[in-house]
Structure 1
Amino acid sequence: MSQYMFHPFDGGMGTSFERISDVPEFQNWLQEIKLELQGIYDRTHDTFVWETINLCGKRLDGFTEKKYFIELVGKLQAIRKNIDRYYPDEKKSQNCHTYKEVLLV
């Protein structure tokens, strides 16, 4: 998911901000992430994964969407760097990335 999907949005009363929550591709990506993280949590009961799931469920208000996105991407990158912890039996492909790593970034 790319931060370039953000677009300007007029918040009224002279305020404007960058928004992504109304982009269908973002919503689809977010749902896929939530589903994958739920599977990880069901197996591991990992607190960090649970915090990331909760962040995925946060109601976006427009004003803080960029901050939210940066935090979510940071958490997903941390999970990706430690992917073996969450998928110890997963075999890596020839280019050294599992399917799960690709999904989580």
Structure 2
Amino acid sequence: MADDSLAHRAQHATTTETMHLPPKAAPTNHGKTLAAWFTTYGVIISFTIAALGVAFALAWLFWVGMGLVVATLVVGKALQLSGHGQGGDKTRARQARSGGH
């Protein structure tokens, strides 16, 4: 027989939490898009080149690395705008072909 006394309920309180879900489900790719991958790796490689310029005191190599950072950001934004970013047409088509992820 279950203990349903007032003392038991006071010691073992149960609460119901209200869930506030977003009105629309988020994309399932978690940011794993062509635009995101290209931008991430491009910036890492470009900053590595700039860091080597600083380490070896080669000003021209530093500025080449910084120029590559800017170029990578521009190309990444262009990829996003052309549909390869989060929620883009080409990303959704790739998700549909591969089963969602």
TM-score (norm 2): 0.36
| Larger fraction in helix | 2
**Higher fraction of strand:** 1
Based on CA coordinates, which of the two structures has the bigger radius of gyration? 2
By relative contact order (CA 8 Å, sep 6+), the higher-ranking structure is 2
